[in-house]
């Protein structure tokens, strides 16, 4: 009978994909936060201009 041999790098690649996913999520969160703060400032400026 033949035994299935598992690739020892299989688990390592799953960990690497998990780390990449975590880094992408952190980068997206930072970008969204920065854009949100800039948008809030812009809307406040527009509201001030409209109010006169």
Q: pLDDT by residue (tens digit) across 14-48?
A: 889 999 999 999 999 999 999 999 999 999 999 99
Residue 1 has pLDDT above 70, yes or no: no
- Check residue 45 and give its pLDDT: 95
C-alpha to C-alpha distance for 49 and 11, rounded to whole angstroms:
57
| Integer angstrom CA distances of residue 38 from 28, 41, 46 | 15, 5, 12
Indicate the pLDDT class of residue 8, thresholds 50, 70 and 90. low
C-alpha to C-alpha distance for 39 and 34, rounded to whole angstroms:
9
Per-residue tokens: 11 = 């688990």
């Amino acid at each position: 009978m033949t035994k299935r041999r598992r690739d020892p790098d299989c688990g390592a690649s799953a960990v690497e994909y998990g780390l990449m996913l975590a880094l992408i999520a952190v980068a997206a969160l930072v970008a969204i936060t920065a854009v949100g703060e800039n948008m809030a400032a812009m809307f406040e400026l527009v509201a001030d201009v409209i109010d006169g």
